[in-house]
Amino acid sequence: MVVGPSMPARVPPPNIVVFVVDDMGWQDTSVPFWREASPFNRRYRTPAMERLAREGLKFTSAYAACPVCTPTRASIMTGLWPARTGITNWTLRTDRDTGGTHPTLLSPEWNRAGLSNTRQTPRAWCAPTLPALLRERGYRTIHVGKAHWGAIGTPGADPRNLGFDVNIGGHAAGGPGSYLGEEGYGAKLDKDHVWDVPGLDKYHGSTTFLSEALTIEANREIDRAVADGKPFFLHLAHYAVHVPFAPDPRFYDRYRKAGLDHTEAMYAALVEGMDASLGSILANLDRHGIADNTAVIFVSDNGGLSAHGRGGEPHTHNAPLRSGKGSAYEGGIRPPMLVRWPGHAVAGSVCDAPVITNDIFATVLRIAGTPSNRSAGVPPATSSDGMDLTPVLADPSKPVRARALFWHYPHVWGVAGPGIAPFSAVRKGAWKLVYFHADGRRELYNVVEDIGETRDLSADHPAIVLDLSRTLARHLRSVKAQMPVIKATGKAVSLP
């Protein structure tokens, strides 16, 4: 009897975890994302993030697609610029604008519905999302935590309509009614219940903090997928560190004893609780023996909160970055980002090249074995405005393909602060141009040499201003970006 050569063992598809934090700043971690550790880095305790940085790749110039949440979250799901999908502000209701008022401008008619699975939803963006495409490849798709992709009453408010097999805790609202189980995560408070975190009734009345409850549920879903022999895509999106803060009893006292005021101690405890969740997920992957075949992507949805809600001096919590959430400046759009994929991402490596949350879509599809294509006009299902980062993971020393990154926020976020105004912006190489819609002002910064954007160089480099203005205008035309309307004339703001 002749025995042929044995067939190589089939390697199962890699599992994928995308771990998204809400409103977490670039400095809200013990992992330095700058050239040196800062006092903020020394304030926080995030050992799981430190582990990811040791075992994977740290992106020091990662960007969110928008300085507020829903547009960035939609960019992860679609790979597209917010201006292309029309989701340029945070969503809640289709019949009213979530933005604040401006003395001279009106918001454009943007996509208040968000994402949808049917073209029957007025104004919504309807196209296959990342989980829908992964489900087609045999993945079990799991969402746990904050969703915030579709407005109240639309199909996109339920993640199961966007390609997820499982939804725990996700709905239309972008913040928690409460972090406390004693308050039913909002359900036991006297209000309209729009902000209640759904699907966690079993924890109501308990002392289980929201971040911990979501982690327990996420690990149970990992256990089920492993038991069923299914590759999984876990999108674990914490409500932390969004307001309204509450003291996580597991960590709060540590920060009060360190001298932080009540608000900042609550915030720091939320950060550590988020990191404890990450550590628990990593430990569960180890326990199942699947860590080596699981890619983990960690990112925040926008820059860190600083204009309001925090203790201490406003607009300083992301220093050396300028300003914070809602702002055109780096503090509003630069989040922490880490990627671990054993055998593929170089452990302990660093990439300083600019990347953006749009890139996650293309990268995850490539990890799963489905390459995405560059977009042109209205994109097919697997097209993307982002870039596949797997070559960067494999060799961070290689130059990243030169490209421009764009932002378009034609709204008033609702609070005042540096750069918190309707704007469009572009970064190309070291240069960043910000175009403010109200007065046409253009500011130019070299964000490599001047990370804090302290020196506006527009008067010194008119040729660069002109070149970047043209680049930005071409982009805004190509994605059919909607500009705010001038109240006095009823006409749209001109492109730069």
Name the 3-class secondary structure at 478.
helix
Q: What is the pTM of this model?
A: 0.96
Could you tell me if 81 and 408 are in contact, meaning their C-beta atoms sit under 8 angstroms apart? yes
* pLDDT reported for residue 50: 98
Percent of the chain with pLDDT over 90: 90
| Radius of gyration over every alpha carbon of the chain, rounded to an integer in angstroms | 22
What's the rounded Cα separation, in Å, for the pair 213 and 134?
26
pLDDT over 90 at 2, yes or no: no
Lowest mean pLDDT among 55-64, 310-319, 368-377: 368-377
The sign one gets for the Cα dihedral 141, 146, 147, 152 is: positive
- Where are the extended beta strands (E) located within 301-440? 337-340, 349-351, 355-356, 373-374, 383-384, 404-409, 423-428, 431-436
Q: What is the pLDDT of residues 219-275, one digit of tens each?
A: 999 999 999 999 999 999 999 999 999 999 999 999 999 999 999 999 999 999 999
Q: What is the pLDDT of residues 24-83, one digit of tens each?
A: 999 999 999 998 899 999 999 999 999 999 999 999 999 999 999 999 999 999 999 999
Domain map of the chain by residue range?
15-401
* pLDDT reported for residue 425: 98
Could you tell me if 63 and 72 are in contact, meaning their C-beta atoms sit under 8 angstroms apart? no
What's the rounded Cα separation, in Å, for the pair 122 and 110?
11
* pLDDT reported for residue 8: 54
Which pLDDT band, with edges at 50, 70 and 90, does 456 fall under? very high
What's the rounded Cα separation, in Å, for the pair 198 and 307?
29
- Residue 145: CB atoms within 10 A of its CB come to 30
Q: What is the pLDDT of residues 386-421, one digit of tens each?
A: 999 999 999 998 888 889 999 999 999 989 999 999
Which pLDDT band, with edges at 50, 70 and 90, does 277 fall under? very high
CATH code, 15-401: 3.40.720.10
Amino acid at 140: R
* pLDDT reported for residue 330: 98
* pLDDT reported for residue 378: 40
* pLDDT reported for residue 11: 76
